[in-house]
Structure 1
Amino acid sequence: MSFQDTTQRFMFEHADVRGELVSLDQSYRELLAKHDYPESVKALLGEMLAATVLLSTTIKFEGLLILQARSSGPLSTLMVECSSDQAVRGIARYSEDLQGDTLPELMPDGILTITIDPQEGQRYQGIVPLEGNSLADALSAYFDNSEQLPTRFRLQADGRTARGFLLQALPADRQIDPEDRDATWEHLSILANTLTAEELLSLDNQTLLHRLFHQEDLRLFDPAKVRFECSCSAERSGNALVSLGREDALALLAEQGGEIEVDCQFCNARYRFAEAELIGLFTAAQRHARSLH
């Protein structure tokens, strides 16, 4: 079954628990179309994509949320960025002799990093071991160990569709008694754990939630759109060259035969700068610097 690219929140009317469902089709396929990934990498990158969108819905921020996994194994890097308005891009790095299908096989002794890069204010970064049999396990453990609100993840991707499910406890409001809150969280978690991979990939949100929580008083909010969008541009590539300094940039120009090529690792876009364009970049940068004084 095909889904639109959306993230959709739901809440329990009489419990301090919320949830989120992410469905990614076109954005996932656009991301994969930029690279020729093996099937196992496609699946894990899809799970990472769904997880990053889910994480972006748990906080209020303007900027980027970046989820990155690194390891010394055959799959060395998975990275996905999600903006506060749900624009996503991602990339994977792996060795030519890639073997294995599961997260422990592909990324042994891995590290998981969650970075919030706001447009204003300080950057936040959390780093934890990439533990468990799946990315969902690792993220759930991250929330358990970081003294944040209890959170559970379910993630699934097959190279065509990526889906994610999140269940999260909220600060006390509707249920003040700690024992009642704990009992409710355990009850809803048990129900959520009955969700199968096939159901997560094939059922629409309303059917899925009815299947899990048909005896609960639940409210489903309007979905928000998710899209693939790479933030690279000729301007950003030019700024990167200016940051090298005039002397080093001209040396690089000579080394590359009179034209510098800057490739975007995420979308494979290529930006070219000949000598006249490079000189123009530094002239514009000097003018801008003088205007600030």
Structure 2
Amino acid sequence: MDNISLPYKIENVSAHGRVVRLGSVINEILSRHDYPEAVSALLGEAVVLTAMLASSMKFEGRFVIQTQSDGPVSMLVCDARSDGSLRGYAKLDKEAFAALGESPTQQDMLGTGHIAFTIDQGPDMERYQGIVPLEDNLLSAALAYFDGSEQVQTHLKLTAMPLFRPGGDMEWRAGGIMIQQTALQGGSDMGRTSTHDDWVRMQTLMETTEPDELLDPELSPEQLVYRLYNEDGVRVFDVKDFSFNCGCSRTRIENMLNSFPVEDILSMQEEGQVTVTCEFCNEIYQFDAQLLKDVSIN
């Protein structure tokens, strides 16, 4: 089962979590760009993190994760909409990336900066945003976000990599698993000491999960969760489905261009054409500069 988020609860321990598995959706997102493999893997993990957090929230609109940093990958932008659509892209300095050599780490690629987690429910609703430093990798930044915003003990694993089908066809897959300590009712700390060993054991069990298990299309998320936690009584709930839908369109981009001053349109034209490339899906749109100019004047 692909392109889903599966919530689960461990009955005999105060813990719950999610498994995210992305197949065709992450392949569609990544294959539209010509990123180096390490950058695609980085973006793939960011999309998984976005899907995992978005599926754990109740909102109408968009949940956005955006990094800004001083490394060769100076920006990652991923968003999930409440209808389950996902998209993402990376801003890459190819020369700076090439200078990193082989097998760069996430810290090498990202450098230092910050990562913002934003819930945007439209102009009539208050926007929520949490910002944490980005100093190591996506995983450590995500854990810092959980620690600061939810104040819940969280353990998390993310992975993304290309898999090769018989015949040599390559496709990207990505996945992740999260476990959180369930908050006690009323915010009391009573019982925390007695459950600490159980919580450590839940984390240790989750750490045994191999990247291949998070990606394997022959191993369902339900089977993975059962394999990890069946001795403690694990229960799964309805899945959240995901799809790829960039959301861009010729009409939307044309309306945006028509709002620009004439001087801006003239500065963008080349041989009478204004060309716009969607950063998320890499679709190219071309417009007649004179027609845009006439609309802008009127």
Q: State the Cα deviation string for residues 186-228 of structure 1 (Å, max 9, x = none).
A: 3322322222323323342122112211211111123222111
1:86 aligns to what?
A: 84
Paired amino acid for 2:128: Y
2:235 aligns to what?
A: 219
2:5 aligns to what?
A: 7
Kindly indicate whether residue 156 of structure 2 is the aligned counterpart of residue 144 of structure 1.
no
* 8 Å CA contact 1:14, 1:217 repeated in 2: yes
Q: Match for 2:133 among 96, 104, 129?
A: 129
Judge which range, 56-65 or 207-216, deviates more. 207-216
Q: Give the secondary-structure state (helix, strand or coil) at the position aligned to 1:238.
A: helix
Q: Give the secondary-structure state (helix, strand or coil) at the position aligned to 1:18.
A: strand
Q: State the Cα deviation string for residues 51-98 of structure 1 (Å, max 9, x = none).
A: 100010221111111112222112222221111122011111222231
Paired amino acid for 1:31: I
Q: State the Cα deviation string for residues 3-42 of structure 1 (Å, max 9, x = none).
A: 4211111112344422111111101111112111111011
Q: Distance in 1 between matches of 2:113 and 2:265?
A: 39
2:226 aligns to what?
A: 210
Q: Give the secondary-structure state (helix, strand or coil) at the position aligned to 1:128.
A: strand
Paired amino acid for 2:246: C
Pair 83,279 (structure 1): closer, same or farther in 2 beyond 3 Å: same
Pair 14,29 (structure 1): closer, same or farther in 2 beyond 3 Å: same
For structure 2, the 5+ residue unaligned runs are 163-171
Q: Distance in 1 between matches of 2:196 and 2:255?
A: 52
Q: State the Cα deviation string for residues 127-165 of structure 1 (Å, max 9, x = none).
A: 111234x42222112211335322221101103210011
Q: Distance in 2 between matches of 1:136 and 1:37?
A: 21
Q: Distance in 2 between matches of 1:182 and 1:248?
A: 64
Q: RMSD over aligned Cα, in angstroms?
A: 2.5
Pair 236,71 (structure 1): closer, same or farther in 2 beyond 3 Å: same
Q: Give the secondary-structure state (helix, strand or coil) at the position aligned to 2:94.
A: coil
State, as a whole percentage, how many aligned pairs show the same letter. 33
Q: Distance in 2 between matches of 1:142 and 1:196?
A: 24
Q: Match for 2:255 among 239, 264, 288?
A: 239
For structure 1, the 5+ residue unaligned runs are 284-293
**Superposition pairs for residues 141-220 of structure 1, below 5 Å?**
141-146=144-149, 148-159=151-162, 160-173=172-185, 177-179=190-192, 180=194, 182-202=196-216, 203-220=219-236
How many residue pairs match? The answer is 278
